[in-house]
Amino acid sequence: MNSFRKSRIISGSGLTFFILLLLSFSQLQAKKGRFMSIQPAGGKGVILLVKGTEQTYFQLNQSKEMKLSLEGPGTLKVFTRLNFTSDLKGPHKYSLEIKEGETITKIYSSASDRSNASYRDLKFIPGKSRKFTLEIPKGAHTYRFSLKESPSGSVSLRFTYNSEGGSDKLASITPLSYSRVTSAFIKEKLVSYFVATPENLVKLRVVGPTKLRVVSRLNYDARMKGEQKYAVLASENGKLILTKPLLTTKSVGVVYKDWKEVVPGKSQTFYFDVPAGEHTYGFRLTESISQSVSLRFSIPQENLTNEE
């Protein structure tokens, strides 16, 4: 009640400023968007258990590099954990080098002690989480991560990305054909997915130029447990244009309304550029013991007006 009374005494230019301030804050919040988990090329995924919650990290050894391709502008968050051997005690320093081409983008140094988390299938003991961010400029970028200093010769990394490029709004695209359509309950809303199998394609018509967003959920049957690898293959006129390797675990709290015999995996998202003109792409599941994958497609709303 007191705050309401105070708001009533604001008048004239003061009220205008107050409204503009609220609008600016709302716009700022809207532009922040959502950070989504992304995977490095060829990264070896490991499951980390933190207070009963599963997180996927990617192991980086001192002898190898890790590559990450991004479309900017956007903000990249990098979560790091020093890996401890059983005989390694106390806090220790470690450092990473991030390069684009031959240019050093960032050198990150930190120190960490053992955490209470644990890996499911990795001999190391994970250190406490440390985080840094990178602002990604406009355009396509490939960054190489290397481990420069570590007492164990190993760290684990997790990446989330908030893309600020393109339109603020995305428009969903309904495929031309698919094995079946199913609806998932996500945050109390029904979301439609289109199902592809190793044999049956989901066919999609897209008019470019645009950037196609593909959200996938691997479908778990009764024999599938834990972390699962799979790939989504895209083709045009029988010609392979993309094979996207992915890694997932079972979703927590997401179920299909009309498909009780399977459990959806956690969503994995990837993008690819569609050149000018009309294209019909076929998507199917490969490199998995699962029988199917559920897919959603969208493009920036501004690109719905594209013509050939």
Decide if pLDDT at 306 tops 80: no
pLDDT at 80: 97
If we measure between CA atoms, which residue out of 204, 199, 193 comes closest to residue 288? 199
Query: What's domain 36-163's architecture?
Result: Sandwich (2.60)
Which H or E element spans position 84? Answer: strand 65-84
Q: For 141-163, how does the pLDDT look when each residue is reduced to its tens digit (9 = 90+)?
A: 899 999 999 999 999 999 999 87
Q: What are phi and psi of 58, to 5 degrees?
A: -125, 130
Tell me, yes or no, if the two domains 36-163 and 170-305 fold the same way: yes
Average pLDDT on 294-303 reads 89
Q: For 211-244, how does the pLDDT look when each residue is reduced to its tens digit (9 = 90+)?
A: 899 999 999 998 899 999 999 999 999 999 999 9
Question: Mean pLDDT of all residues in the chain?
Answer: 85
Query: What CATH code is assigned to 170-305?
Result: 2.60.120
Percent of the chain residues past pLDDT 70, beyond the cut: 86
Average pLDDT on 278-305 reads 92
Quickly list DSSP for 19-69.
HHHHHHHHHHHHHH---EEE--BT--EEEEEETTEEEEEEEEETT-EEEEE
Q: For 11-29, how does the pLDDT look when each residue is reduced to its tens digit (9 = 90+)?
A: 444 433 333 333 333 333 3
Domain boundaries along the sequence of the chain:
36-163, 170-305
Binned at pLDDT 50, 70 and 90, residue 289 comes out as: very high
pLDDT at 165: 55
Decide if pLDDT at 120 tops 50: yes
Q: For 261-274, how does the pLDDT look when each residue is reduced to its tens digit (9 = 90+)?
A: 999 999 999 888 89
Binned at pLDDT 50, 70 and 90, residue 140 comes out as: confident
Decide if pLDDT at 6 tops 80: no
Q: Are 152 and 88 in contact (CB under 8 A)?
A: yes
Residue 2 burial (CB count, 10 A): 6
Q: What are phi and psi of 230, to 5 degrees?
A: -160, 175
Decide if pLDDT at 82 tops 80: yes
pLDDT at 242: 92
Decide if pLDDT at 42 tops 70: no
pLDDT at 263: 94
pLDDT at 300: 85
Q: Are 285 and 217 in contact (CB under 8 A)?
A: no
Whole-model pTM: value is 0.54
Quickly list DSSP for 245-256.
EEEE-B-SS-EE
Q: What are phi and psi of 236, to 5 degrees?
A: -140, 120
